[in-house]
Structure 1
Amino acid sequence: MGDDATLIDKLLHRLSTTFKIRDLGTPIFFLGIETLNQDGSLMLSQRRYMTDLLNRAGMTDCKPLATPASVTQSVTPSTQPYENPTQYRRLVGALQYLTITRPDLSFAVNRLCQFMHSPTDDHWVLLKRVLRYIKGTLNYGLRLSPSVSTSVHAFSDSDWAGCPVDRKNTSGYAVFLGSNLISWLSRKQRTVARSSTEAEYKALADVSAEFTWIVSLLRELGLHSGDPATLWCDNLGATYLCANPVFHARTKHVEIDFHFVRDKVASGEFIVNFVSTKDQLADILTKPLPGPRFAAHRDKLNVVSHPCA
């Protein structure tokens, strides 16, 4: 990649003298992902993939829903196994690939993946809800727009004891380069946290590792602005813990690798700031949200509708 078309053409020509290659030009459809130009922006869409997924599940005529996860229905242990666990695993595995362009599905799909070993009828109901949400958002994709800023910032969040099965927390983060979402994650933490501050601190450590890799890549490409990356967290205790060693006495039980974020803050590479819960975009990656709030966060993650092909 680069901004010099002549140099790129020269490189491709030299490669073609040694290797058998073919320049396919501007990407249109690649690995199930369609690229669409819309008002100067690039849309990444998996509409065909989603349509095929609904066909495989026999839900092409299902009734759409506004959110992929219910705020009232929790995942509880069930003793009634689903009659076709292979079908469940195939569909959930296919949904994992869909999250490449649909970060709004990350939390719901992550939750479904936790029951791949022994799905029950309740888990199948949760899977069908995700598919019904997909039915209503077939024309949605991830938008990438020109941005004058090359600053890196991220929103980090975690629920506390959100899983009713093992009381572990779910971490989530969304990393932006300028105005564009470039990396996101929704994942259950390995250990149970003794407080919400500890859960949020662990989530900050996860996004710090991702930040380090992204900044290194941007420097290699010559795109890094040199400004410290900014982390936004909605827990004051966690933000203080990143900068104040006095809190160490309260976190002796926290694993050493989670203190990685404190070293980054001390060196000036990261800045951890507080953001109110209502503005915390990573909420969509850690818990079910009501319809209006879910839609607002989805729009801010640049998951928007595009014209039908």
Structure 2
Amino acid sequence: MASHYDFALFLRRTDKGTILLLYVDDMIIIGDDLNGIQELKEFLSQEFEMNDLGHLNYFLGLEITHCTNGLYIIQAKYASELLSQAGLTNSKTVDTPIELNANLTPSRGKPLSNPSLYRCLVSQYLSTPRLTHYAAVLHSLQYLKGTLLHGLFYSAQSPLILHAFSNVDWAGDPTNRKSTTGYCFLLGSFLISWQSKKQTHLVRFSTEAEYCAFTDTTSELLWLRWLLKDLGVSTSSATSPLLLLFIVTTRVMIESASEGTADEDETLLLLPRPLELEGSLTASVSVSIGSPSSSSPGRRICILVMVCLLMAKSRGMRLIS
């Protein structure tokens, strides 16, 4: 049965259950029902030409190393390919991913004479890349060279409790003054989803930027909760403090605005918004339903892989690719 919340996730409902993750022509089968897994593989091999690669060690650029108390995920092969493509295989390493106080703008610096390699490596400033942009990319790659074997560890003893954190850099872009949303999600103590993304619209006040960041975070939060529910993980009490904090904060700010005690920028932001008067002021936030619109299929499947790996390891399930 296909999941209602992501097109790459398929579930087989039995006493023990089997999970299948499919991305184009790569798949992972997860479960503790060995007979059910074997039956599924036999059925799929009759319908499609496929290879059984055995115990999961590699999937979509993620290298998985298993140990007795958990597993490690690294991307050394993928990072090495980027270094080779940029001709930095034998380069020196640096200690930071970007130079201190770097200030990149679309027009600062001389244009690149041949921007083909630059456009293969990054997705920013593509129209007229500059030498300063390329130098920043090379610096980041040199940092990657020194951290090839750095990765994420997922413990088999992790409690499957979802935690969310969100922040915003208000008007931080020096060119167009757009804000940047940042958030991360942890399942137990282990990172499963993170993003730093420029907001689509220009906002006048820091409070509005915070609301935009909170909306994006809540969208991702709902998606993750629904996925975990599909996988049989209860999250009923895991994230309610986050939502409660949002409701309380919103209520306090609206009441402060109505009483004239809020800061000027908060009052200017909140008063034009549609409010409902039913004994007290209330407000609602619209959140899109389904997979986060800002997430690419590749990003979503990587998040799914990390969630399923952590869940499978904590429950002693087998992982087959």
Structure 2 CA distance for partners of 1:199 and 1:127, relative to 1, 3 Å = same
Whether 2:140 is the aligned partner of 1:130: answer yes
Number of equivalenced pairs:
241
Query: What are the within-5 Å matches in structure 2 for residues 247-266 of structure 1?
Result: 250-251=269-270, 259-260=285-286
Which whole-Å deviations, capped at 9, do the CAs of 1:28-64 have from their partners, x for residues lacking one? 2333332112452222222122222112211223221
**Matched residues in 1 for 2:217 and 2:155: separation?**
23
Corresponding residue of 2:10: none
Corresponding residue of 1:34: 63
Corresponding residue of 2:215: 205
Among 59, 71, 74, which residue is 2:88 paired with?
59
Among 222, 235, 239, which residue is 1:229 paired with?
239
Query: What are the within-5 Å matches in structure 2 for residues 151-300 of structure 1?
Result: 151-229=161-239, 240-241=249-250, 245-246=254-255, 250-251=269-270, 259-260=285-286
Shift of 1:162: 1.0
Does the 8 A contact of 2:228 with 2:234 survive in 1?
yes
Q: Please, which runs of 5 or more residues in structure 2 have no aligned partner?
A: 1-18, 20-30, 259-266, 276-283, 290-321
> Over aligned residue pairs, what C-alpha RMSD do you find?
3.3
**Matched residues in 2 for 1:42 and 1:187: separation?**
29
Shift of 1:72: 1.1
Corresponding residue of 2:303: none
Corresponding residue of 1:95: none
**Matched residues in 2 for 1:161 and 1:90: separation?**
28
Does the 8 A contact of 1:198 with 1:238 survive in 2?
no
Shift of 1:232: 6.5
Shift of 1:231: 7.2
Structure 2 CA distance for partners of 1:19 and 1:136, relative to 1, 3 Å = closer
Does the 8 A contact of 2:61 with 2:75 survive in 1?
yes
Corresponding residue of 2:128: 118
Shift of 1:243: 6.8
Corresponding residue of 1:104: none
Shift of 1:253: 5.9
Does the 8 A contact of 1:168 with 1:188 survive in 2?
yes
Does the 8 A contact of 2:108 with 2:132 survive in 1?
yes
Whether 2:119 is the aligned partner of 1:85: answer no
**Matched residues in 2 for 1:141 and 1:168: separation?**
31
**Matched residues in 2 for 1:90 and 1:133: separation?**
18
Structure 2 CA distance for partners of 1:254 and 1:127, relative to 1, 3 Å = farther
Structure 2 CA distance for partners of 1:121 and 1:150, relative to 1, 3 Å = same
Structure 2 CA distance for partners of 1:188 and 1:254, relative to 1, 3 Å = farther
Q: Which amino acid aligns with 2:92?
A: K
Q: Which amino acid aligns with 1:86?
A: S
Does the 8 A contact of 2:225 with 2:235 survive in 1?
no
**Matched residues in 2 for 1:56 and 1:133: separation?**
15
Corresponding residue of 1:70: 99
**Matched residues in 2 for 1:137 and 1:255: separation?**
49
**Matched residues in 1 for 2:242 and 2:98: separation?**
25
Structure 2 CA distance for partners of 1:16 and 1:88, relative to 1, 3 Å = closer
**Matched residues in 1 for 2:111 and 2:168: separation?**
30
**Matched residues in 1 for 2:208 and 2:247: separation?**
7
TM-score by length of 1: 0.68
Secondary structure class of the residue paired with 1:24: coil
**Matched residues in 2 for 1:90 and 1:146: separation?**
38
**Matched residues in 2 for 1:42 and 1:131: separation?**
26
Structure of larger gyration radius: 2
TM-score by length of 2: 0.65
Percent identity over paired residues: 36
Which whole-Å deviations, capped at 9, do the CAs of 1:224-257 have from their partners, x for residues lacking one? 2321416769xx999712775435863356799x
Does the 8 A contact of 2:254 with 2:270 survive in 1?
no
